[in-house]
Chain A
Amino acid sequence: MEIQTNTCEIPARNSLERFYYDNKTVRDFGIACVAWGVISLLVGVIIACQLFLPRFYPDFDLGLSFLTFGMLIAIHTKGAIFAFVGNMIFMGVYYSLQRLCKARMWSDTLSRIHFWGWQCIIALAVVTLALGYTTSKEYAELEWPIDILITIIWVVFGINFMGTVLTRRVKHLYVAIWFYIGTLVTIAVLHIVNSMELPVSWMKSYSVYAGVQDALVQWWYGHNAVAFFLTTPFLGLMYYFLPKVANRPVYSYRLSIIHFWSLIFLYIWAGPHHLLYTSLPDWAQSVGVVFSIMLIAPSWGGMINGLLTLRGAWDEVRTNPILKFMVVAITCYGMATFEGPMHSLKFVNALSHYTDWIPAHVHIGTLGWNGFMTFAILYYLIPKLYNTQLYSKSLANLHFWIGTLGMVFWTVAMYVSGVMQGLMLQDFNPDGTLKYANFLETTMQVLPMHIIRAIGGTMYLTGMVIMVYNLWKTAKQGSFVANEMDEAPAKERPENDAALTGYFRHRIVEGKPMIMLALATIVILIGGMVEFIPLFTIKSNIPTISSVKPYTPLELEGRNLYIREGCNACHSQMIRPFRSETERYGEYSKAGEFVYDHPFLWGSKRTGPDLHRIGGKYPHSWHFRHMRDPRSTSPGSIMPSYPWLISNKLDTRDTRASIVAMRRLGVPYPFGFENEAVDDLQAQALKISDELKKDKITIPEDREIIALIAYLQRLGTDIKGEQTSEITK
């Protein structure tokens, strides 16, 4: 039976109203979660193998552009976060919200639009990222038309969500719903602010922010995408599903109130801890550190609240695989939220940043907290939706153990690799020279760890495949309940409720969702504004350097190629002010060097060396040979080959539009320069092609590789020879 809205069948006062929960949307999101989850994790295993396979099979990537690490990693992270975890969030929210509100979702049509719209976004993401359409901003790589689509679908979800909350039959908003509301508003704010970009063509845009400012906005977004997409909705799910499975109320409801408000208040400030020792002004870094450390309190408050809910029920944990998954998930949440603040301490960060330690930390969160909580909810919900029992408890137990072991292999290998490589990169000989002068030497040392990581990932994926079989058999043995009946008394009018009158109490907020929405918005805006406003308005935060000039049209095109190929996934462009880094790479990076960088390309992981001062370090011919076959210049390199850069002609159709767009964003190209941009580009390309000829490399000047060489040779050269005294404030 199809019900279009949650209007009741028997609208009698003071009597029970009968209504039906929409289980179809819940189930569909669940199927999408599992399907995309398997794909995302499979891509994860493939990219894990790409970090050691080239050592044994140099032609591993078959010369296909969409199979390089730089391309696939974006698909893996988008898939894992927005497809796997995202669909689970919606599955869990659509199920729990209806029950907590004693109401069907407000509109079946909006539920359908939301479901198909979200799957459409993910499919578009996979296709466009594989084709190289990317903004380069981590977790926000999708280009502007898809950004607009995401906004529309999120608003559809928001309307459907708030419609359900406002027409609920339960007076009190349970704590899970607060976390959902916090997620709803914050993701909207984050997505809109970080996606501010100026379109150049239908699938190319430039971030409106540049350099340091872009970095701050990006990591305010990046950090809070973790906070409000991977954490708060899952905490909401924890507060609903853990009491259900354990059949007892949450340990402390008071603690959950404090947990919620302090978490959303503190989280939003901590983004700058992703930029320690970079060119971001010190005060902003310090704000990030302080708030990151404070975050331990609410995070652990939540974890303790979750674990203590199981007091008196620990014997059940031994026998119930769903509880096992939940306990490990909550423990991983505690580990990740302890480790995060520790990484924010500057002396730890100096070692851990850019190394495998960071993916290890992230995967404790995604594999442990999000993954295991997702599996627990699926094992709980699928039998319920199909009105049956789980097909096999022993298969679920097998999944639990193989998943846990896989996760241990994955993370321990990466902890070892991260610390090892970090220490090696800092190591000096007694005479003051670098002990491992060649970055590649350190890569070779950690290779065995990468093999163990891939084995761990494969085990985790195997566990998921076992789950798919188990859930499929469960569904087959049951029959699907598309519309589940329930009854509840009609909601009392708030003005008749004595508890909602009188002096200000938290109960008022709990009964009034729009106030909750407004308060949550205010709370999350404070942190962002305090960090952004000084950085955007006070000039002295980014000292300008007179010798820093805009990119030439050819360099700009080369930069677009650098972004397209995802070079920033493995190479940073940010030299920190340590002797070990200045010895290895050159002068440390200054804020003023990035003022024309829309977007910034600092990167967050060094699988290969930093490139900020690569300009002028090698001849053009070295770069040509290196891109054609990295192992010809760097024996043992694990970098993919880029043969298509040599065969592809450079597309200059948008060069003019790029110059105009950059000028609109504040890059000082003279008026009219756009008309001569292509000529300028060709002249510079010809020069590089001529120089390559001297090294016996004959290549037409209209090839993509020429533009990329031009960009790489420009990197970090603007201030070479400049004295600090010339840096003007």
Chain B
Amino acid sequence: MFKDFIKQDTGMQIYPILSLLVFIGFFVLIIAMAYAKKKSEIDEASRIPLDENDSILTFNKE
């Protein structure tokens, strides 16, 4: 199992701890960044696909 594999080589013990930290760090960072965004920014960004006002477009036919 993973534990045996880790035991085979000195210096490998750090790997599980390191990967756990990388994960926690990664998710905390992403969640923090997501929630650090201002409400106005979020609203603005989420409306980007809806910004196009299709009705005012004129068409150039083939």
Residues of chain B with a CB closer than 8 A to A100's CB? 48-49
Residues of chain A with a CB closer than 8 A to B6's CB? 283
Once the chains bind, are A247 and B50 in contact (CB under 8 Å)? Answer: yes
Once the chains bind, are A176 and B49 in contact (CB under 8 Å)? Answer: yes
Residues of chain A with a CB closer than 8 A to B62's CB? 24, 479-483
Once the chains bind, are A484 and B49 in contact (CB under 8 Å)? Answer: no
Once the chains bind, are B44 and A20 in contact (CB under 8 Å)? Answer: no
Q: Which A residues from 271 to 287 make CB contacts under 8 A with B?
A: 281-283, 286-287
Residues of chain A with a CB closer than 8 A to B17's CB? none
Using C-beta atoms within 8 Å of the partner chain, give the interface range for chain A.
35 or more
**Is the CB of B14 closer than 8 A to any CB of chain A?**
no
Nearest-neighbor residue (CB-CB) of B47 within chain A = A249
**Is the CB of A505 closer than 8 A to any CB of chain B?**
yes
Nearest-neighbor residue (CB-CB) of B36 within chain A = A505
Residues of chain A with a CB closer than 8 A to B33's CB? 257, 505-506
Give a binary string over A514-557; 1 marks a CB under 8 Å from any B CB, 0 the rest: 00000000000010001000100010110000000000000000
Q: How many A-B residue pairs have CB under 8 A?
A: 108
How many B residues face the partner with a CB closer than 8 A? 35
Once the chains bind, are B61 and A480 in contact (CB under 8 Å)? Answer: yes
State the Cβ distance, A540 to closest chain B Cβ, in Å: 6
Once the chains bind, are A485 and B9 in contact (CB under 8 Å)? Answer: no
Residues of chain B with a CB closer than 8 A to A172's CB? 44-45, 48
Contact of B46 (CB < 8 Å), options: A20, A249, A261? A249
**Is the CB of A253 closer than 8 A to any CB of chain B?**
yes
Residues of chain B with a CB closer than 8 A to A36's CB? none
**Is the CB of A212 closer than 8 A to any CB of chain B?**
no
B residues apposed to A, CB below 8 Å: 1-2, 4-6, 8-9, 19, 22, 26-27, 30-31, 33-37, 41-50, 52, 57-62
15 further A-B contacts with Cβ under 8 Å, apart from A249-B43, A258-B34, are A100-B49, A172-B48, A239-B49, A243-B49, A249-B49, A257-B33, A258-B30, A261-B26, A262-B30, A282-B2, A286-B1, A482-B61, A483-B60, A526-B22, A530-B19
Q: List 21 A-B contacts (CB under 8 A).
A: A20-B60, A96-B49, A99-B49, A100-B48, A100-B49, A174-B45, A240-B49, A244-B49, A250-B46, A254-B34, A257-B33, A257-B34, A261-B26, A261-B30, A281-B5, A282-B1, A481-B62, A482-B62, A484-B60, A486-B52, A534-B5
A residues apposed to B, CB below 8 Å: 1, 20, 24, 96, 99-100, 170, 172, 174-176, 239-240, 243-244, 247-250, 253-255, 257-258, 261-262, 265, 281-283, 286-287, 387, 479-486, 499, 505-507, 510, 526, 530, 534, 538, 540-541
